[in-house]
Amino acid sequence: MTNVVVIGSQWGDEGKGKIVDWLSERADVVVRFQGGHNAGHTLVIDGTSYKLSLLPSGVVREGKLSVIGNGVVIDPHALVAEIDRLATQGVKITPDNLRIADNATLILSLHRELDALREDAASNSGSKIGTTRRGIGPAYEDKVGRRAVRVMDLANMETLPSKVDRILTHHNALRRGLDQPEIQHAAIMEELQSVADRVLPFRETVWRLLDERRRAGKRILFEGAQGTLLDIDHGTYPFVTSSNTVAGQAAAGSGMGPGSLGYVLGITKAYTTRVGEGPFPTEQDNEVGQFLGERGHEFGTVTGRKRRCGWFDAVLVRQAVANNGITGIALTKLDVLDGLDELKICVGYRLDDRDMEYLPASQSQQERVVPVYETLEGWKESTVGARSWNDLPAQAVKYVRHIEELIGAPVALLSTSPEREDTILVTDPFED
């Protein structure tokens, strides 16, 4: 038995909801280790859809403990709203099934406002990043700048005012430079006091709790948000998120040692999609891209934004395998490719007059790389609902096997529809 880390191996739009739900049913503890409420996924259980953006997937399963780790930035009002929304669907969230790291950073209204101001300014200059304007980046900046307000601070109203003063000294200076009115101390204090009683019952020394559960032999599932190509260090910078999304962050973002992580499962779509701005070498801004978007219902869970679509990029996924130490992949949305006469897979790049076997870190070079494709024959038969290799068309099997060869990692699970039962299990990550 081992613990499992689930990461996105592309830009984070891999259709991970179903796989994460399947794994969370088998786990005892589900830990969210990075990001904020700027990304999410949809779980479908017994015909009911649950849209999660901040809460771990375990909250919709009875008997599971869900944990929000210190690597997550938390908008307390968004947290409360998500808890209340799930309550209307019959999901009761209490301190018995949800614990939040007391050293996790809080997102405040001033973070959201700064995020929006910057995006508006960048849009006018043609250099926007494409953030969700939810304050994620500014909150991480304050965390690194050692001026953040954290969950534990809500418990001490005597010291909280000085912490608010410290963060306002920084933000009001920024706002003056942007010709914006200063934020009043009383407004932020009221904002925090209004939500403290709803958040504090969930606070926990998470690293200690997880160490206890690990020693007791409990199965722990670590889930992040976004994907490897949005990692602040290893992604398509600057068009990335504000945190590390790779598997190693599961340790830093939860307080557990790297040796406790175990199996790394990379969620990988059978083609490629991306939300927002930034380079996308295999993007198909044509009828193929339109086909993939319509067939795959490609819209962001949190933002509702239309995803850009393109062919499978084996170069990028191979890079993600290396960055994360991926043990196996869960290949999703194979059924979206049904009916295409031919399929293309990117197997390399051309940069000016050079061959490239990886995506360079330079933004200008990323924008200039030209994909080198291999073409495979498509299949006309339906793969929807396939639950064994024998149910798949021969060309579909060939496509999957070629992906395994190109990326250097085996397929552990293969998804052939949004239904959880329509999954071909090759390797059980928890038993590996």
Q: How many CB atoms lie within 10 A of CB 40?
A: 21
Can you point out the beta strands (E) in 245-396?
Answer: 263-269, 272-274, 308-310, 312-313, 328-332, 342-351, 354-356, 370-377
**Which residue reads 């039962």 in tokens?**
421
Q: Which residues contact 408 (CB under 8 A, 6 or more apart)?
A: 318, 321
The alpha carbon torsion through 224, 229, 230, 233 (nearest 10 deg) reads 100
Q: Which of 21, 37, 41, 171 is catalytic?
A: 41
* Cis amide prior to 238 (ω within 30 degrees): yes
List the one residue out of 228, 247, 282 whose CA is nearest residue 13.
228
Q: Which of 13, 153, 335, 422 is catalytic?
A: 13
Which two tokens mark 119?
């995006």
What is the spatial distance between Cα 415 and Cα 418, in angstroms, rounded to a whole number?
8
Task: Tell me the CA end-to-end span of the chain in Å, nearest whole number.
Answer: 7
Longest dimension (CA), the chain: 68
Task: Give catalytic status of residue 13 as yes or no.
Answer: yes
Under DSSP, is residue 106 helix (H, G, I), strand (E, B) or coil? Answer: strand
Q: What count of other Cβ atoms lies within 10 Å of the Cβ of residue 287? A: 8
Which residues, in sequence order, are bridge partners of residue 425?
A: 413
In eight-state DSSP terms, residue 9 is S
The answer to whether the beta carbons of residues 348 and 356 sit under 8 Å apart is yes
CA–CA dist 239, 156 (Å, integer):
37
Task: Give the C-alpha separation, 389 to 396, whole Å.
Answer: 9
- What lies within 8 Å, CB to CB, of 273 at 6+ separation is 10, 11, 13, 292, 293, 296, 298, 307, 308, 309, 310
Please state whether beta strands 65-68 and 29-32 pair in parallel, antiparallel, or not at all (unpaired): parallel
Which positions are annotated as active-site residues? 13, 41
